[in-house]
Amino acid sequence: MNPENKNHYIDLGERGKFNLRNKLNNLTGKEWIKFTKSWFIHRPPRRKDDEILHPAKYPESLVEDFIKFFTKENDWVLDPFLGTASTLIAAGNLNRNGIGIELNKTYFKTSSDRIKKSKFKNDIKIHNGSSLNLSKIVSKIKDKDFKFDYTVTSPPYWNQLERNSIRQKNRKDKGLDTKYSENENDIGNIKSYDEFIELQAQIFDEVYKVTKNNGYLTIITNNVYYNGKLYPLAYDTAISLTKRGKFSWVLKDEKIWLQDDKPLIALGVNNAWVGNRHHQFCLILRKEEPDGIKKL
């Protein structure tokens, strides 16, 4: 190492050394490298608030790891499919600001209650509406030129909630919803797979409009098994977002979340292949426009 560079580092003991020229986050080199592994096992601590009735929450501790990597303190985080506000609770815990949009009134109310209870010192705002209008909503909440540093979100996995019969029964038994809403703007209600891919991409066009140049987007999603075949939803999500003309994202990577604590279910035994799908995809994309040149 060049001895002149020595002054750029702060020694944080066990955490490693923090480089003052780090452009992206508040992590040390050691922490940075650890997060770049292409898979992780995440067993979240049991939620204290397990009464939160939402069928597809992701753990705050998981989303915190992503927020720590892709933002610095006081940056702005967006979640266009807010659900019960896991992303914004994580953002608030880490002293980041955030905005979330949720269509379903019940989940919006849950989010609102959770955020109020948390008394964050940072600015956390939520809106009840459709993210198909996201850029308009954000320009009203902030201003027309406002841009986010980072988006992390988990969209509906097409209409998976409605049709996965064994898991569906478990959800019913736990008193959870088996669809998010009856709302026509709920993209989880779209029957056609191709139409879902297009509308989901339209929402990420909206996210693109309100993202800073070089800002990242993480989408947690999965391929889905339906009617005897695998629909490559995670792959099609990645591909579709890179082919959006002036709103095209650059696909950077995937991180695989391995869920090795899920029970195995007897699927297709003695008959035919049906997998126990115990992983999810975390797709990493970035808005990269050449500096100063606006794409048409």
The residue ranges that bind ligand SAM (CB under 6 A) are 54, 56-58, 81, 83-84, 86, 101-104, 107, 130-132, 154-156, 180-181, 185-188
Whole-number minimum distance, CB 70 to ligand SAM, in Å?
A: 16
Nearer to ligand SAM, 22 or 181 (CB): 181
Instruction: Name the 3-class secondary structure at 257.
Output: strand
Whole-number minimum distance, CB 254 to ligand SAM, in Å?
A: 18
Per-position b or e across 56-84, b if 16+ CB within 10 A of its CB? bbbbbebbbbbbbbbbbeebbbbbbbbbb
Q: Are 167 and 176 in contact (CB under 8 A)?
A: no
Whole-number minimum distance, CB 130 to ligand SAM, in Å?
A: 4
CA dihedral 113, 156, 148, 244 (to 10 degrees): -160
Whole-number minimum distance, CB 123 to ligand SAM, in Å?
A: 20
Nearer to ligand SAM, 120 or 157 (CB): 157
Nearer to ligand SAM, 91 or 103 (CB): 103
Q: How far is CA 176 from CA 165, 215, 293, in A?
A: 14, 35, 48
Whole-number minimum distance, CB 102 to ligand SAM, in Å?
A: 5
Nearer to ligand SAM, 27 or 99 (CB): 99
Instruction: Name the 3-class secondary structure at 166.
Output: helix
Report how far residue 19's alpha carbon sits from residue 5's, in angstroms, rounded to the nearest whole number: 9
Nearer to ligand SAM, 25 or 130 (CB): 130
Closest CB to ligand SAM: residue number:
83
